[in-house]
Amino acid sequence: MTDRALPLPLTPEQVDADWLGRALRRGIEAAEIVDILWGTSTKIRVQLRGEGLPETLIVKGGFEEHSPKMAAMYANEARFYTDIQPHVPMPSPRCWFAGSDPGSHQSIVIMEDLRRDGLVFCDPLEPQGFARIARRLEVMAGYHAATWESVRFEAGGPWSDIHSRFETWGLDYMRRYLVPDVWEHYMTSPRGAATSRRFHDRDWMERALLRIGEIQHAQPKCLIHGDTHLGNLYVAEDGTPGFFDAQVARTAWHHEVSYHIVCAADLADRRDWERALLDRYLAALAGHGVTVDRDQAWLDYRRSIAWGLFIFLTNEVRFQTEAVNTAYAARFSQAALDHDLRGLLP
């Protein structure tokens, strides 16, 4: 990003032809906002006319009341497109511009509009089949292996400031929802009712999460997408799994694999498929030159269920609807019961 794009827009009305021209470094003859999807990040679909540009692009950033509190998350995604996407085999939208504004909370990404014939967005309320989950795990294995103990993570490296979910702003985020009255609010919500009362114990959850952080800290680390629930995924026209809304982290592989499998599979199917799905992932990882012990992998996979359980027990409705949060919480609760999570993380 260059200074010519600053200051970044803070309202949709400021996403006009003048600013788009400065950000995209080309003349924009006309620009019109045709759609706004409000959410954790706001997606603004812009129809434009300019040399060498598609008919529509998506402008994504923090345009809502809650946005100042999400500054780190927005910056993390913008950073993905500038510093990470070019170096990892993670299929994701083409980026036309990405940058952060030091004078405000704002970070903005201008990316390709994925709404087109043949491309399918995954739906959190529609669990997926074995083949589709397995293929996505194989893609994950590719970018995990490509960044396994990467020198880019070392002190002075370009990714040295990428942390796990149990450090810096990730740890702050976690603790925000473990405050007793906040926790109690979610336990009395529909998702709390859909979750076994065995997992309503706030003290146990806090200890379990800290233990997971310790386990992952001691293991080899790779770069993960960071939020591979179905709402952040798509399937391209040729069947290639795609990823967007990356919130990258540096941590152990199972943090992401466990989260994705439990999110993506129906409750009954996950119970029957998860060992075979894990084997598919491990085989793909080995094909890229990284070997992980199968028995240890199975233990780590099961313990990491705690993270997804926590996330969807406490995920705010401004991020996902209560229906989505409840569906995911039920999937994680059942997985936690099936694997005796409290026994694995006493």
Question: pLDDT per residue over 7-17, tens digit each?
Answer: 999 999 999 99
* 95 and 155 both lie in a single domain: no
* pLDDT band with cut points at 50, 70 and 90 for residue 2: low
Residue 61 DSSP class: E
Q: Which residue type, as a one-letter code, is found at position 338? A: D
Give residue 238's pLDDT. 95
**By residue range, what is the domain housing residue 145?**
120-344
Sort strands 107-112 and 120-121 into parallel, antiparallel or unpaired.
unpaired
CA dihedral in degrees (24, 25, 29, 31; nearest 10)?
20
How buried is 206 (Cβ within 10 angstroms: 0-12 exposed, 13-18 middle, 19+ buried)? middle
Instruction: Answer yes or no: is pLDDT of 76 > 90.
Output: no
Q: What is the pTM of this model?
A: 0.93
* 93 and 161 both lie in a single domain: no
Sort strands 241-243 and 233-235 into parallel, antiparallel or unpaired.
antiparallel
* 63, 12 Cβ separation under 8 angstroms: yes
* 135 and 67 both lie in a single domain: no
* 329 and 194 both lie in a single domain: yes
* 154 and 292 both lie in a single domain: yes
How far is it, in rounded angstroms, from Cα 64 to Cα 42?
7
Q: Which residue type, as a one-letter code, is found at position 263? A: C
* 282 and 234 both lie in a single domain: yes
* 226-258 pLDDT, tens digit each: 999 999 999 999 999 999 999 899 999 999 999
- CATH code of the domain covering residue 149: 3.90.1200.10
* 278, 261 Cβ separation under 8 angstroms: yes
Q: Which of 71, 89, 112 is the last residue of a domain?
A: 112
* 14 and 162 both lie in a single domain: no
Q: Percent of the chain scored above 90 by pLDDT? A: 90
Q: Which residue type, as a one-letter code, is found at position 298? A: W
Domain count within the chain: 2
Count CB-CB contacts under 10 A for residue 18: 11
Give the ranges where the chain is alpha helix by DSSP (H): 17-24, 71-79, 130-146, 168-176, 180-187, 190-193, 202-217, 253-264, 267-287, 294-303, 305-314, 322-338, 341-344
* 107 and 152 both lie in a single domain: no
Give residue 318's pLDDT. 85
Q: Which of 112, 140, 158 is the last residue of a domain?
A: 112
Q: Which residue has the tokens 């313990």?
A: 303
Give residue 40's pLDDT. 81
* 309-324 pLDDT, tens digit each: 999 999 999 889 999 9
Average pLDDT of the residues in 11-31: 94
Give residue 260's pLDDT. 98
Residue 9 DSSP class: P
